[in-house]
Amino acid sequence: MIEQIATFQVNVNIRDKAGLAGKLIGVAPAHSIAYAVDELPIKLDGMLWRKLFHVTGALGYSAEKSGNQTLFTLAPTSQAWQDAIKFTLNEEGGYSINPADPGGETK
């Protein structure tokens, strides 16, 4: 369950695995948000990495801190938000290409 929301202070790289060796798969823009995935953070390459689901659609790792610079902050979600996202993921979760769905293909 998603219990924390990350808010980016600056543009932050998104990688396919924790650490600088991870392949760059995107960039989270400053002031955007991501949802923290229920995993413990990973300390690697002198940084603290967290697995996040980004509003860009990317699921990957971003460094929370680099040296003394905070790249994003985490805040807890409310119970109402958790209930809403659980309902939405249950109803909308997974890949879909239903011709009757006016929203089109999910990616």
How confident is the model over 57-102, as pLDDT tens digits?
A: 889 999 998 878 888 888 877 777 667 767 776 776 656 667 777 7
The two tokens of residue 22 are: 């991870």
Quick check: 44 pLDDT over 80? yes
Amino acid at 26: G
- Give the pLDDT score at 107: 57
Looking at every residue in the chain, the average pLDDT score rounds to 82
Chain centre distance of CA 53:
2
pTM: 0.69
**DSSP summary character for residue 29:** P
- Give the pLDDT score at 52: 92
- Residue 1, classed as helix, strand or coil, is coil
**Paired strand residues for 66:** 47, 69
- Give the pLDDT score at 19: 94
The two tokens of residue 100 are: 């009757």
